[in-house]
Structure 1
Amino acid sequence: MLEVGPRKLSPQAPLVLFGGTFDPVHRAHISAARAVSKVLHGAPVHLLPNAVPPHRPQPMADGEQRLAMLRLACKRYPELVVDDWELRQDGPSYSLNTLRHFRQQNPGRPLVFMIGADSFNSLHLWHQWQDYTTLCHLAVVPRPDCALAPDQVQAAFPESDAEQLMRQPFGLRLMLKRPFLDVSATAIREALEKKGDCPALDPAVSAHIRRQHLYNVATLNSSTNHEAP
Protein backbone atom coordinates (compact mmCIF):
# COMPACT_ATOMS: atom_id res chain seq x y z
CA MET A 1 0.00 0.00 0.00
CA LEU A 2 1.34 3.40 -1.04
CA GLU A 3 0.94 6.26 1.43
CA VAL A 4 0.93 9.51 -0.48
CA GLY A 5 1.03 12.95 1.07
CA PRO A 6 -1.75 15.45 0.38
CA ARG A 7 0.09 17.58 -2.16
CA LYS A 8 -0.75 17.20 -5.87
CA LEU A 9 2.16 17.42 -8.31
CA SER A 10 2.54 17.29 -12.07
CA PRO A 11 2.86 13.75 -13.45
CA GLN A 12 6.14 14.89 -15.03
CA ALA A 13 7.63 16.11 -11.75
CA PRO A 14 10.72 14.12 -10.69
CA LEU A 15 10.10 11.04 -8.60
CA VAL A 16 12.80 10.24 -6.03
CA LEU A 17 13.41 6.74 -4.62
CA PHE A 18 15.26 6.28 -1.33
CA GLY A 19 15.76 2.66 -0.29
CA GLY A 20 17.34 1.24 2.84
CA THR A 21 16.73 -0.92 5.86
CA PHE A 22 15.66 2.08 7.99
CA ASP A 23 16.49 0.00 11.04
CA PRO A 24 15.62 2.42 12.56
CA VAL A 25 14.91 5.53 10.48
CA HIS A 26 16.89 8.46 11.90
CA ARG A 27 17.21 12.23 11.50
CA ALA A 28 19.92 12.00 8.83
CA HIS A 29 17.61 9.92 6.62
CA ILE A 30 14.85 12.49 6.92
CA SER A 31 17.04 15.58 6.47
CA ALA A 32 18.70 14.05 3.39
CA ALA A 33 15.37 13.09 1.81
CA ARG A 34 13.96 16.56 2.42
CA ALA A 35 17.10 18.19 1.00
CA VAL A 36 16.80 16.22 -2.24
CA SER A 37 13.10 17.08 -2.48
CA LYS A 38 13.84 20.76 -1.94
CA VAL A 39 16.53 21.03 -4.61
CA LEU A 40 14.13 19.28 -7.04
CA HIS A 41 11.37 21.83 -6.38
CA GLY A 42 9.34 19.74 -3.95
CA ALA A 43 9.57 16.39 -5.76
CA PRO A 44 8.10 13.48 -3.77
CA VAL A 45 10.60 11.14 -2.16
CA HIS A 46 9.50 7.52 -1.73
CA LEU A 47 11.19 5.87 1.25
CA LEU A 48 11.26 2.13 0.54
CA PRO A 49 12.31 -0.17 3.39
CA ASN A 50 14.05 -3.32 2.15
CA ALA A 51 12.44 -6.68 2.76
CA VAL A 52 15.60 -8.77 2.37
CA PRO A 53 18.77 -6.67 1.91
CA PRO A 54 20.99 -8.75 -0.38
CA HIS A 55 24.43 -7.53 0.74
CA ARG A 56 24.15 -6.72 4.44
CA PRO A 57 22.90 -8.23 7.72
CA GLN A 58 19.14 -8.57 7.97
CA PRO A 59 17.21 -5.89 9.89
CA MET A 60 16.55 -6.39 13.60
CA ALA A 61 13.05 -4.90 13.35
CA ASP A 62 10.51 -6.55 11.06
CA GLY A 63 8.94 -4.81 8.06
CA GLU A 64 5.79 -3.67 9.85
CA GLN A 65 7.78 -2.10 12.69
CA ARG A 66 10.08 -0.30 10.26
CA LEU A 67 7.06 0.97 8.32
CA ALA A 68 5.50 2.21 11.56
CA MET A 69 8.68 4.12 12.47
CA LEU A 70 8.89 5.62 8.97
CA ARG A 71 5.28 6.80 9.16
CA LEU A 72 6.01 8.55 12.44
CA ALA A 73 9.21 10.16 11.15
CA CYS A 74 7.59 11.34 7.88
CA LYS A 75 4.25 12.43 9.32
CA ARG A 76 5.01 16.17 9.25
CA TYR A 77 6.51 16.21 5.76
CA PRO A 78 4.07 15.88 2.83
CA GLU A 79 6.95 15.56 0.37
CA LEU A 80 7.99 12.24 1.99
CA VAL A 81 6.05 9.12 0.98
CA VAL A 82 6.29 5.84 2.90
CA ASP A 83 6.21 3.08 0.28
CA ASP A 84 6.02 -0.64 1.11
CA TRP A 85 6.59 -1.89 -2.47
CA GLU A 86 9.84 -3.71 -1.69
CA LEU A 87 8.35 -5.30 1.43
CA ARG A 88 5.59 -6.81 -0.73
CA GLN A 89 8.02 -8.50 -3.15
CA ASP A 90 9.43 -12.01 -2.88
CA GLY A 91 13.16 -12.59 -2.59
CA PRO A 92 16.05 -10.14 -2.07
CA SER A 93 15.37 -6.40 -2.41
CA TYR A 94 17.55 -5.61 -5.40
CA SER A 95 17.57 -1.91 -6.30
CA LEU A 96 17.66 -2.82 -9.99
CA ASN A 97 14.26 -4.53 -9.73
CA THR A 98 12.82 -1.54 -7.89
CA LEU A 99 14.09 0.88 -10.52
CA ARG A 100 12.74 -1.23 -13.36
CA HIS A 101 9.32 -1.33 -11.71
CA PHE A 102 9.11 2.42 -11.14
CA ARG A 103 10.48 3.16 -14.61
CA GLN A 104 7.78 0.97 -16.15
CA GLN A 105 5.16 2.81 -14.12
CA ASN A 106 6.58 6.24 -15.07
CA PRO A 107 7.97 5.93 -18.64
CA GLY A 108 8.92 9.55 -19.35
CA ARG A 109 9.22 10.94 -15.86
CA PRO A 110 12.57 11.93 -14.32
CA LEU A 111 13.35 9.10 -11.91
CA VAL A 112 15.98 9.85 -9.25
CA PHE A 113 17.72 7.18 -7.17
CA MET A 114 19.04 8.61 -3.93
CA ILE A 115 22.25 7.06 -2.54
CA GLY A 116 25.07 7.93 -0.16
CA ALA A 117 28.50 8.86 -1.49
CA ASP A 118 29.91 5.55 -0.24
CA SER A 119 27.40 3.63 -2.36
CA PHE A 120 28.16 5.81 -5.38
CA ASN A 121 31.86 5.13 -4.95
CA SER A 122 31.27 1.37 -5.08
CA LEU A 123 28.59 1.41 -7.76
CA HIS A 124 30.87 -0.35 -10.25
CA LEU A 125 30.72 -3.43 -7.99
CA TRP A 126 26.92 -3.64 -8.13
CA HIS A 127 25.19 -6.23 -10.32
CA GLN A 128 24.47 -4.82 -13.80
CA TRP A 129 25.26 -1.34 -12.58
CA GLN A 130 25.51 0.03 -16.13
CA ASP A 131 21.76 -0.61 -16.56
CA TYR A 132 21.07 2.12 -14.03
CA THR A 133 22.14 4.76 -16.56
CA THR A 134 19.01 4.10 -18.65
CA LEU A 135 16.68 3.83 -15.68
CA CYS A 136 17.39 6.75 -13.37
CA HIS A 137 19.38 9.77 -12.36
CA LEU A 138 21.44 9.66 -9.18
CA ALA A 139 21.20 12.07 -6.25
CA VAL A 140 24.36 11.53 -4.22
CA VAL A 141 24.29 12.56 -0.55
CA PRO A 142 27.72 13.27 0.98
CA ARG A 143 29.39 11.28 3.72
CA PRO A 144 32.37 12.54 5.73
CA ASP A 145 35.83 11.68 4.38
CA CYS A 146 34.47 9.69 1.44
CA ALA A 147 36.85 9.05 -1.47
CA LEU A 148 36.04 9.96 -5.05
CA ALA A 149 34.22 7.40 -7.18
CA PRO A 150 36.18 5.67 -9.96
CA ASP A 151 36.35 7.51 -13.27
CA GLN A 152 34.15 4.93 -15.00
CA VAL A 153 31.34 5.54 -12.51
CA GLN A 154 31.61 9.32 -12.76
CA ALA A 155 31.63 9.13 -16.56
CA ALA A 156 28.57 6.85 -16.61
CA PHE A 157 26.54 9.48 -14.74
CA PRO A 158 27.77 12.95 -15.82
CA GLU A 159 27.41 15.56 -13.09
CA SER A 160 24.60 18.03 -13.68
CA ASP A 161 22.44 20.58 -11.92
CA ALA A 162 18.87 20.16 -10.78
CA GLU A 163 17.35 22.09 -13.68
CA GLN A 164 18.98 19.91 -16.33
CA LEU A 165 18.16 16.75 -14.40
CA MET A 166 14.47 17.66 -14.33
CA ARG A 167 14.38 18.01 -18.13
CA GLN A 168 15.26 14.39 -18.94
CA PRO A 169 14.25 11.01 -17.49
CA PHE A 170 17.61 9.41 -16.63
CA GLY A 171 21.39 9.35 -16.91
CA LEU A 172 22.64 12.33 -14.88
CA ARG A 173 24.09 12.84 -11.41
CA LEU A 174 23.27 15.48 -8.82
CA MET A 175 25.90 15.92 -6.08
CA LEU A 176 24.50 17.40 -2.89
CA LYS A 177 26.80 19.41 -0.66
CA ARG A 178 24.74 18.84 2.49
CA PRO A 179 23.43 17.40 4.71
CA PHE A 180 25.97 14.69 5.51
CA LEU A 181 24.80 11.13 6.08
CA ASP A 182 27.03 10.87 9.14
CA VAL A 183 24.82 8.85 11.46
CA SER A 184 25.52 5.16 12.09
CA ALA A 185 22.46 2.95 12.50
CA THR A 186 24.68 0.45 14.33
CA ALA A 187 25.67 3.13 16.86
CA ILE A 188 22.01 4.08 17.25
CA ARG A 189 21.01 0.49 18.01
CA GLU A 190 23.84 0.20 20.53
CA ALA A 191 22.74 3.43 22.23
CA LEU A 192 19.16 2.18 22.37
CA GLU A 193 20.22 -1.09 23.94
CA LYS A 194 22.39 0.62 26.55
CA LYS A 195 20.44 3.81 27.27
CA GLY A 196 16.97 3.27 25.81
CA ASP A 197 17.15 6.44 23.69
CA CYS A 198 19.28 8.27 21.12
CA PRO A 199 19.25 11.97 20.09
CA ALA A 200 19.58 10.99 16.41
CA LEU A 201 15.97 9.74 16.45
CA ASP A 202 12.74 11.67 16.09
CA PRO A 203 11.03 11.73 19.52
CA ALA A 204 7.98 9.94 18.12
CA VAL A 205 10.21 7.17 16.77
CA SER A 206 12.01 6.89 20.12
CA ALA A 207 8.69 6.62 21.94
CA HIS A 208 7.52 3.88 19.55
CA ILE A 209 10.75 1.93 20.08
CA ARG A 210 10.31 2.09 23.86
CA ARG A 211 6.66 1.09 23.71
CA GLN A 212 7.41 -1.86 21.45
CA HIS A 213 10.66 -2.80 23.27
CA LEU A 214 12.59 -2.84 19.98
CA TYR A 215 16.37 -3.19 19.77
CA ASN A 216 16.51 -4.76 23.24
CA VAL A 217 15.34 -1.54 24.89
CA ALA A 218 14.54 -2.21 28.53
CA THR A 219 10.97 -2.33 29.83
CA LEU A 220 9.36 1.10 30.14
CA ASN A 221 9.82 2.82 33.46
CA SER A 222 7.10 4.78 35.20
CA SER A 223 8.10 8.08 33.57
CA THR A 224 7.57 6.75 30.03
CA ASN A 225 4.39 4.82 30.76
CA HIS A 226 2.47 8.08 30.48
CA GLU A 227 3.58 8.94 26.94
CA ALA A 228 0.84 9.42 24.37
CA PRO A 229 0.30 6.35 22.18
Structure 2
Amino acid sequence: MRTTHDTTPLVLFGGTFDPVHRAHISAARSVSRVLGDAPVHLLPNAVPPHRPQPLAGGEQRLAMLELACADHPCLIPDDWELKQSGPSYSLLTLQHYREQIGNRPLVFMIGADSFASLHHWHRWQDYADLCHLAVVPRPDSPLATDKVLATFPETAPDSLMRHANGLRLMLQGPFLDVSATAIRQALAEKGDCPALEPAVVAHIHRHHLYNVAKSPSPESDTRPHER
Protein backbone atom coordinates (compact mmCIF):
# COMPACT_ATOMS: atom_id res chain seq x y z
CA MET A 1 0.00 0.00 0.00
CA ARG A 2 1.48 3.33 -1.06
CA THR A 3 1.13 6.52 0.95
CA THR A 4 0.48 9.76 -0.89
CA HIS A 5 0.84 13.49 -0.33
CA ASP A 6 -1.86 14.43 -2.84
CA THR A 7 -5.04 13.36 -1.04
CA THR A 8 -7.58 14.28 -3.76
CA PRO A 9 -9.02 10.94 -4.89
CA LEU A 10 -10.10 10.11 -8.41
CA VAL A 11 -13.18 7.88 -8.39
CA LEU A 12 -14.04 5.54 -11.27
CA PHE A 13 -17.59 4.22 -11.70
CA GLY A 14 -17.99 1.78 -14.58
CA GLY A 15 -21.11 0.09 -15.89
CA THR A 16 -23.34 -0.38 -18.88
CA PHE A 17 -25.53 2.63 -17.90
CA ASP A 18 -28.23 1.15 -20.14
CA PRO A 19 -29.78 3.59 -19.30
CA VAL A 20 -28.27 5.71 -16.52
CA HIS A 21 -30.80 6.16 -13.72
CA ARG A 22 -31.29 8.16 -10.54
CA ALA A 23 -29.69 5.54 -8.29
CA HIS A 24 -26.47 5.71 -10.35
CA ILE A 25 -26.33 9.49 -9.95
CA SER A 26 -27.28 9.44 -6.27
CA ALA A 27 -24.63 6.82 -5.46
CA ALA A 28 -21.91 8.63 -7.41
CA ARG A 29 -22.70 11.94 -5.68
CA SER A 30 -22.64 10.22 -2.29
CA VAL A 31 -19.18 8.75 -2.88
CA SER A 32 -17.96 12.14 -4.09
CA ARG A 33 -19.24 13.87 -0.94
CA VAL A 34 -17.75 11.29 1.43
CA LEU A 35 -14.37 11.75 -0.26
CA GLY A 36 -14.30 15.55 -0.10
CA ASP A 37 -16.17 16.33 -3.33
CA ALA A 38 -13.83 14.10 -5.32
CA PRO A 39 -14.41 13.89 -9.08
CA VAL A 40 -16.22 10.75 -10.20
CA HIS A 41 -15.66 9.51 -13.75
CA LEU A 42 -18.61 7.47 -15.04
CA LEU A 43 -17.35 5.09 -17.72
CA PRO A 44 -19.84 3.23 -19.92
CA ASN A 45 -18.56 -0.22 -20.89
CA ALA A 46 -17.97 -0.95 -24.56
CA VAL A 47 -18.09 -4.76 -24.24
CA PRO A 48 -18.95 -5.82 -20.67
CA PRO A 49 -17.28 -9.20 -20.08
CA HIS A 50 -19.58 -10.55 -17.34
CA ARG A 51 -23.11 -9.61 -18.46
CA PRO A 52 -25.36 -9.30 -21.53
CA GLN A 53 -24.40 -6.63 -24.01
CA PRO A 54 -26.15 -3.23 -23.74
CA LEU A 55 -29.22 -2.57 -25.86
CA ALA A 56 -28.28 1.06 -26.53
CA GLY A 57 -25.06 1.87 -28.36
CA GLY A 58 -22.10 3.49 -26.66
CA GLU A 59 -22.73 6.91 -28.18
CA GLN A 60 -26.31 6.94 -26.92
CA ARG A 61 -25.39 5.75 -23.42
CA LEU A 62 -22.70 8.41 -23.19
CA ALA A 63 -25.18 11.07 -24.34
CA MET A 64 -27.65 10.00 -21.64
CA LEU A 65 -24.88 10.16 -19.04
CA GLU A 66 -24.01 13.69 -20.12
CA LEU A 67 -27.64 14.72 -19.67
CA ALA A 68 -27.95 13.06 -16.26
CA CYS A 69 -24.67 14.58 -14.99
CA ALA A 70 -25.19 18.07 -16.40
CA ASP A 71 -26.18 19.66 -13.06
CA HIS A 72 -23.47 17.89 -11.03
CA PRO A 73 -19.95 19.27 -11.62
CA CYS A 74 -18.33 16.45 -9.63
CA LEU A 75 -19.70 13.83 -12.07
CA ILE A 76 -17.76 13.45 -15.32
CA PRO A 77 -18.98 11.21 -18.18
CA ASP A 78 -15.91 9.48 -19.58
CA ASP A 79 -15.68 7.63 -22.92
CA TRP A 80 -12.28 5.97 -22.36
CA GLU A 81 -13.65 2.40 -22.26
CA LEU A 82 -15.84 3.05 -25.29
CA LYS A 83 -12.70 3.88 -27.28
CA GLN A 84 -10.96 0.61 -26.44
CA SER A 85 -11.21 -2.65 -28.39
CA GLY A 86 -12.09 -5.98 -26.84
CA PRO A 87 -13.80 -6.70 -23.49
CA SER A 88 -14.02 -3.78 -21.03
CA TYR A 89 -11.98 -5.35 -18.26
CA SER A 90 -11.86 -3.08 -15.22
CA LEU A 91 -8.22 -4.05 -14.68
CA LEU A 92 -7.21 -2.29 -17.90
CA THR A 93 -9.13 0.84 -16.90
CA LEU A 94 -7.51 0.88 -13.46
CA GLN A 95 -4.05 0.43 -14.96
CA HIS A 96 -4.66 3.32 -17.37
CA TYR A 97 -5.83 5.77 -14.72
CA ARG A 98 -3.15 4.74 -12.25
CA GLU A 99 -0.58 5.72 -14.88
CA GLN A 100 -2.41 9.01 -15.41
CA ILE A 101 -2.62 10.18 -11.80
CA GLY A 102 0.59 8.84 -10.29
CA ASN A 103 0.43 8.35 -6.53
CA ARG A 104 -2.96 9.96 -5.88
CA PRO A 105 -5.72 7.83 -4.34
CA LEU A 106 -7.61 5.94 -7.02
CA VAL A 107 -11.04 4.64 -5.98
CA PHE A 108 -13.05 2.02 -7.84
CA MET A 109 -16.74 2.30 -7.05
CA ILE A 110 -18.85 -0.88 -7.16
CA GLY A 111 -22.15 -2.18 -5.84
CA ALA A 112 -22.25 -4.65 -2.98
CA ASP A 113 -23.42 -7.39 -5.36
CA SER A 114 -20.33 -6.90 -7.53
CA PHE A 115 -18.12 -6.81 -4.44
CA ALA A 116 -19.57 -10.17 -3.37
CA SER A 117 -18.57 -11.71 -6.71
CA LEU A 118 -15.23 -9.92 -7.05
CA HIS A 119 -13.31 -13.18 -6.63
CA HIS A 120 -14.66 -14.24 -10.05
CA TRP A 121 -13.36 -11.13 -11.83
CA HIS A 122 -10.39 -11.05 -14.18
CA ARG A 123 -7.18 -10.78 -12.07
CA TRP A 124 -9.04 -9.22 -9.18
CA GLN A 125 -6.08 -9.76 -6.85
CA ASP A 126 -4.16 -7.12 -8.83
CA TYR A 127 -6.73 -4.44 -7.97
CA ALA A 128 -5.30 -3.87 -4.48
CA ASP A 129 -2.03 -2.66 -6.04
CA LEU A 130 -3.94 -0.15 -8.16
CA CYS A 131 -6.95 1.21 -6.26
CA HIS A 132 -9.18 1.40 -3.25
CA LEU A 133 -12.77 0.14 -3.34
CA ALA A 134 -15.89 2.16 -2.49
CA VAL A 135 -18.73 -0.31 -2.00
CA VAL A 136 -22.30 0.97 -2.35
CA PRO A 137 -25.02 -1.10 -0.63
CA ARG A 138 -27.52 -3.12 -2.62
CA PRO A 139 -30.48 -4.94 -1.04
CA ASP A 140 -29.99 -8.62 -0.24
CA SER A 141 -26.42 -8.78 -1.53
CA PRO A 142 -24.42 -11.75 -0.23
CA LEU A 143 -21.19 -11.22 1.69
CA ALA A 144 -17.84 -11.12 -0.06
CA THR A 145 -15.41 -13.97 0.55
CA ASP A 146 -12.95 -13.81 3.44
CA LYS A 147 -10.09 -13.57 0.95
CA VAL A 148 -11.60 -10.52 -0.75
CA LEU A 149 -12.31 -8.87 2.62
CA ALA A 150 -8.74 -9.48 3.75
CA THR A 151 -7.29 -8.16 0.48
CA PHE A 152 -9.10 -4.82 0.95
CA PRO A 153 -9.18 -3.95 4.68
CA GLU A 154 -12.06 -1.67 5.64
CA THR A 155 -11.20 1.89 6.64
CA ALA A 156 -12.62 5.38 7.11
CA PRO A 157 -12.59 8.07 4.39
CA ASP A 158 -9.79 10.14 5.95
CA SER A 159 -7.55 7.09 6.21
CA LEU A 160 -8.33 6.05 2.65
CA MET A 161 -7.32 9.47 1.34
CA ARG A 162 -3.88 9.17 2.95
CA HIS A 163 -3.06 6.12 0.82
CA ALA A 164 -3.03 5.52 -2.92
CA ASN A 165 -4.59 2.06 -2.96
CA GLY A 166 -5.47 -1.17 -1.16
CA LEU A 167 -8.28 -0.16 1.24
CA ARG A 168 -12.08 -0.44 1.27
CA LEU A 169 -14.80 2.07 2.10
CA MET A 170 -18.24 0.63 2.90
CA LEU A 171 -21.01 3.18 2.34
CA GLN A 172 -24.22 2.95 4.34
CA GLY A 173 -26.33 4.49 1.57
CA PRO A 174 -27.85 5.24 -0.80
CA PHE A 175 -28.93 1.81 -1.99
CA LEU A 176 -28.43 0.75 -5.58
CA ASP A 177 -31.93 -0.71 -5.60
CA VAL A 178 -33.07 0.08 -9.14
CA SER A 179 -33.34 -2.61 -11.80
CA ALA A 180 -32.25 -1.55 -15.29
CA THR A 181 -34.26 -4.46 -16.69
CA ALA A 182 -37.40 -3.13 -15.00
CA ILE A 183 -36.64 0.36 -16.31
CA ARG A 184 -36.34 -0.88 -19.89
CA GLN A 185 -39.57 -2.85 -19.51
CA ALA A 186 -41.40 0.23 -18.18
CA LEU A 187 -40.09 2.29 -21.08
CA ALA A 188 -41.24 -0.28 -23.63
CA GLU A 189 -44.69 -0.57 -22.02
CA LYS A 190 -45.39 2.98 -20.84
CA GLY A 191 -42.77 5.18 -22.48
CA ASP A 192 -41.64 6.57 -19.12
CA CYS A 193 -40.08 5.58 -15.80
CA PRO A 194 -39.78 7.63 -12.57
CA ALA A 195 -36.27 6.27 -11.99
CA LEU A 196 -35.00 8.35 -14.93
CA GLU A 197 -34.27 12.05 -15.21
CA PRO A 198 -36.74 13.83 -17.52
CA ALA A 199 -33.91 14.85 -19.86
CA VAL A 200 -32.89 11.20 -20.22
CA VAL A 201 -36.49 10.14 -20.95
CA ALA A 202 -36.74 12.88 -23.57
CA HIS A 203 -33.53 11.63 -25.21
CA ILE A 204 -34.87 8.07 -25.23
CA HIS A 205 -38.03 9.22 -26.99
CA ARG A 206 -36.13 11.41 -29.42
CA HIS A 207 -33.95 8.50 -30.51
CA HIS A 208 -36.58 5.75 -30.06
CA LEU A 209 -34.44 3.67 -27.69
CA TYR A 210 -35.57 0.60 -25.72
CA ASN A 211 -38.55 -0.10 -27.98
CA VAL A 212 -40.18 3.19 -27.04
CA ALA A 213 -42.85 3.97 -29.60
CA LYS A 214 -42.35 6.90 -31.94
CA SER A 215 -44.32 9.45 -30.00
CA PRO A 216 -43.73 12.96 -28.69
CA SER A 217 -41.42 13.18 -25.68
CA PRO A 218 -43.26 13.25 -22.38
CA GLU A 219 -43.53 16.65 -20.76
CA SER A 220 -40.73 17.32 -18.31
CA ASP A 221 -41.66 16.49 -14.76
CA THR A 222 -41.35 19.74 -12.83
CA ARG A 223 -41.95 18.19 -9.43
CA PRO A 224 -38.96 18.19 -7.05
CA HIS A 225 -37.10 14.90 -6.91
CA GLU A 226 -35.05 13.46 -4.10
CA ARG A 227 -31.32 13.42 -4.96
Superposition RMSD on alpha carbons, in Å? 1.4
Q: Residues 12 and 164 of structure 1: is their aligned pair in 2 closer, same or farther, counting only changes over 3 Å?
A: closer
Amino acid at match of 1:127: H
In the alignment, what sits opposite 2:29? 34
Cα displacement string for residues 57-95 of structure 1 (whole angstroms, at most 9, x for unaligned residues): 111100110011000000000000010000011111000
Distance 2:36 2:44 in 1: 24
State the match for 2:98 in structure 1: 103
The unaligned stretches of length 5 or more in structure 2 are 221-227
Distance of 2:116 and 2:197 partners within structure 1: 29
Q: What displacement does 1:125 show? A: 1.1
| Cα pair distance change 1:127/1:110, threshold 3 Å | same
User: Does the CA contact (< 8 Å) of 2:19 and 2:64 recur in 1?
Assistant: yes
Question: Which of 71, 74, 77 in structure 2 is aligned with 1:82?
Answer: 77
Task: Work out whether 1:203 is the aligned partner of 2:201.
Answer: no
| SS across alignment from 2:107 | strand
Deviation of residue 226 (structure 1)?
7.9
What residue is the counterpart of 1:7 in the other structure? none
With the length of structure 1 as denominator, give the TM-score of the two structures: 0.92
Q: Is the 8 A contact 2:192 2:218 kept in 1?
A: no
* 1:61 aligns to 2:56 (yes or no): yes
Q: 1:225 to 1:111 in 2, by over 3 A?
A: closer
- Contact 1:30 1:74 (C-alpha < 8 Å) held by counterparts: yes
Moved over 6 A (4+): none
Q: Given that residues 12 and 108 in structure 1 are in contact (C-alpha distance below 8 angstroms), is that contact kept between their aligned partners in structure 2?
A: no
CA distance in 2, matches of 1:195, 1:225: 11
Aligned residues: 216
- How much does 1:12 deviate? 4.4
Q: Which residue of 2 is the match for residue 4 of structure 1?
A: none
Structure 1's 173 and 54: CA in aligned 2 closer, same or farther, altered over 3 A?
same
How do 1:63-212 and structure 2 match up within 5 A?
Answer: 63-212=58-207
Give unmatched runs, 5+ long, in structure 1: 1-9
TM-score calculated relative to the size of structure 2: 0.92
